[in-house]
Amino acid sequence: MQGWFYSTPKASPDWPNIFYILSAIGNFKDFGKAQDIFGSYATNHWERWLKPTMPSDAHLIWVLLARPKSRGFIKLADANPMSKPIIQPAYFSDTGDEDVEALIDGLEFLVKMYEGTKAFQVAGARMNPVPMPGCENYIFKSRRYFECVVKTLPQTIYHPSCTAPMGKVGDPRAVLDSELRVIGTRGLRVADASVMPVITNANLNAPTIMIGERAADLIKASWLPRF
């Protein structure tokens, strides 16, 4: 189930920067372990955090940055095409900590909505009362506590993008021209989420399909007149 958007105080109300995904998942026996595997957390933070509340009804909400300021990179390790690439997401590397502050704002809004509205209080909704492992020394629900939570469990959700962006020829960041062709090569185009210069602030499935459709049109326009 998809969720809704929220504009933090520093964001434009017409261009939200927080995206919530709702997951109606109960806190079953191996849920924490599954989340640790999904996020590659060797520290078992999820399992240790959720175990004291098992079993219980639960409503998991993912708080996502729809428009992150931080920028990571993907680079070739060497000239061997079989070598694994160097992937650095560079979470929270933006100047001014805008990404961290936005996620804290998003968490505060979420807790306020769940614990301060009649609709959710009818169900007795509340934030997990067990402090996040590693964040026990901060006042529970304070901004410092939420900052610790944000920095303890960051992860990419589903759609990395913008790693081979379109741009003008001569732009040092551009990998592709405006027709999705790899600059400096012939007969090679890219048609996926990597071509975006800037991430869209929603699920990338529909935009990526659109890019594929556009690529098909460009290829047909280039080749059909030759036959």
Active site (catalytic) residues: 159
Residues β-bridged to residue 88: 73
Cβ count within 10 A of residue 92 = 17
Q: Helix H segments across the chain?
A: 31-39, 45-50, 98-116, 118-121, 143-152, 205-223
Enumerate residues 6+ apart whose C-beta is below 8 A from 75. Answer: 85, 86, 88
Burial of 130 (0-12, 13-18, 19+ CB in 10 A): middle
Distance from the first to the final alpha carbon of the chain: 47
